Amino acid sequence: MKRYLVLADGTVYQGQAFGADCASTGELVFTTGMTGYQEAITDDSYAGQLLVFTNPLLGNYGVSVADNEDIVSNCAGVICRQVARVVDSWRSSETLGDFLTRQQIPGISGIDTRQLTQKLRTSGTMAARLTDELPERSELKQQLVLPASSELLAKTAQKSPYSIPGTGHQVVVVNFGAKQSILRELMKRNCNIIVVPSTYSAEQILNFAPEGVVISNGPGDPTDFPQALPLIRELQQKTVLLGICLGHQLFALANGASTFKMKFGHRGFNHPVTEVATGKTVFTSQNHGYAVDASSIDRNVLLETYVELNDQTVEGLHHRTYPALSVQFHPDASPGPHDAVDIFDDFISMIETQGEEEIAKEK
């Protein structure tokens, strides 16, 4: 069956429908990852976005429940060159098409994704719509209204806290759309994890007596979450703090920096990042459309720790006074290389150092 991808600039692509039988509007973005389509589709940082895969073939290893980053997928749609006709993996429980149908996500194949990606790199991300019927020109503007960040967060919102028992340090994760892989990395380090909604106050979080707090990834514009800034300012003074992706941007905003919308963002897992202190470069998994403005950083407050090698955007920060750090990339990867996974070890080391300092003060 025919399906159309209609862009805000009036460009129309015709392809074949797969996945859910419905129309959908979202921000059109592309990811350069060669594998990991399921993890990307279920990553809540993609909530409300139409996801273009530059890898020409999708679905060849099917879908496995164990690889979901969230139980419910909130991306707006999937665009690819070709959907595999045969699934070949012992781990697969269903096809990509069946998965998208169950998740109520429309897809389109048969699109020249190379040309489409070049357009997005030139013109920037834009609103688009997947539909089985071409809209009238007069209707197009109304149909291409993008959801607000508050709507995206509402889709991924957690209603009440839950815990993942562990024998190690007490860590609270503030959930703006946290990937399961972040929780898995904390579990590997035996953390006793408490995951709380993003609406929780500092007082509610501190009532759990955390030794460390993680501000998670999530969708949307960081400036749309002003309530998070006083939360971060209070938490960084009272516990060890780690911000990831959106959490990194919010950490920067809370400490006086500003952010900006990128032309087409960083999405995929082949992004080189250099550690400023050592000059060491690692490849990272990334998914963001906003970045911290380097010129806005107060260098007396924040130390820049990582830089993206291609465009020199800020990829890591460390507070000069408090035990708080942030990274723009995903040290948990999933999908992607695990070059930067030791960020979690740094977080745990900071918790242990802080604990030793507290003991020394008591003596």
245 is catalytic: yes
- Does the annotation list 146 as a binding residue? no
Peptide bond into 335 cis (omega under 30): yes
Q: Which amino acid is at 7?
A: L
Annotated catalytic residue: which of 43, 44, 332, 339?
Answer: 332
H/E stretch holding 111 reads none
- 75 is annotated as an active-site residue: no
- 290: annotated binding-site residue? yes
Is 33 flagged in the annotation as binding? no
Whole-angstrom distance, CA of residue 111 vs CA of residue 105: 17
Q: What gap in Å lies between CA 81 and CA 100, rounded to an integer?
A: 16
- In whole angstroms, give the CA distance from residue 269 to residue 256: 29
Residue 249 assigned ligand-binding role: yes
Q: Which of 43, 75, 245, 248 is catalytic?
A: 245
19 is in an annotated binding site: no
Annotation-wise, does 218 bind a ligand? yes
Buried b (16+ CB within 10 A) or exposed e, 126-158: bbbbbbeeebeeeebeeebebbebeebbeebbb
Which residue type occupies 282? V
- Judged by phi (left if over 0) then psi (alpha if -120 to 50, else beta), residue 315 lies in alpha
Q: Which of 44, 248, 330, 339 is catalytic?
A: 330
Binding site listing: 45, 218, 220, 246, 249, 287, 289-290
Give the residue numbers annotated as catalytic, written as ranges: 245, 330, 332
Binding site listing for L-glutamine: 45, 218, 220, 246, 249, 287, 289-290
